[in-house]
Amino acid sequence: MVEAPAKGASRGGIMPAHPSSDRTFADNTVGVVTNGSPIDFFGILRDVPVHAFPHLAEVVPTLDGHAFDETPPNVNRVLMPGPASPLDTHNDTAYANSVAVWEAHYAARDSGPPPGLDLFTGEVVDHSVFATHE
């Protein structure tokens, strides 16, 4: 089995956060990337690097009761301006655009991958998508 970083947006970011806070979980996560997810409540293990991308005007990432200024040391929180309207901030397309702008900032400087993201490069060997409904 290949260990790989887990990523997700909103509730999809919560899914890898939970097992990343439990050392007994069989498939230890080596990293977590989230867009607009309230994950600070989980207490993700300090040896699991996290890249959290919240929009500044969005409330969803703070629904766990933690403010952005309470960032644990293993979390690289990249606060992005996002759309002008707070109603448009919790949106996959808006997040994709914001992260692309952030990545382009580093590409323009020809400084390689953004800080700490070297762990998240490589070949995808397996991809699973799970869906549910109520």
pLDDT bracket for residue 101 (50, 70, 90)? confident
SS3 content of the chain, % helix, strand, coil (to 5): 30, 15, 55
Residues 6+ apart with CB under 8 A from 122: none
Q: Which tens digit of pLDDT belongs to each residue from 11-38?
A: 667 777 777 787 776 456 677 888 888 8
Strand order in the sheet with 32-35: 6-9, 32-35, 50-53, 75-77
pTM: 0.72
What is the residue type of 125? V
